[in-house]
Amino acid sequence: MPSSEQPKTYSISDLAKEFDITTRTIRFYEDKGLLAPERRGQTRIYTPADRTTLKLILRGKRLGLSLEESRDIIGMYSPGQSNEEQLKTLIDRIRGRKETLQQQLHDIEVMMLDLQESEQRCNDALRELGVSGD
């Protein structure tokens, strides 16, 4: 008996469950042109490539990339090629994100010091008035 094995496909609910996201989120990515499943009537049929794209979109989101940045990077992929440009672009985006986060961390540390100093001054002023602020 010849094997006419069909490639694995996924429903929208399969992917939503696997990645712990809502079907609405997946439809949002479709509306943005990031995913384009086949349709059989009203049913969406996702391929393994669609699943991989969704996985990359979600990874980009976790890294703090915008959807546009994720789209650009995913669009650079060429099967069977070195994908050097894609990898270098991703590294640049990662480095930029790290720089932004380092600056935000510094800003938070400075703000925490300012808040601690302000709180201490207020407590000192209350003590001078004979009132406990703690």
Q: Which of 48, 60, 45, 55 has the alpha carbon at shortest distance from 11?
A: 45
Question: Between 1.10.3720.10, 1.10.940.10, 3.10.150.10, 1.10.1660.10, what CATH number should domain 1-75 receive?
Answer: 1.10.1660.10
Angstrom distance (rounded) from CA 82 to CA 27:
31
**Per-residue pLDDT of the chain in tens (134 residues, 90 and over written 9):** 555 566 699 999 999 999 999 999 999 999 999 999 999 999 999 999 999 999 999 999 999 999 999 999 999 988 788 889 999 999 999 999 999 999 999 999 999 999 999 999 999 999 999 887 66
- Predicted TM-score (pTM) of the model is 0.75
Q: Where in the chain is the domain with CATH 1.10.1660.10?
A: 1-75
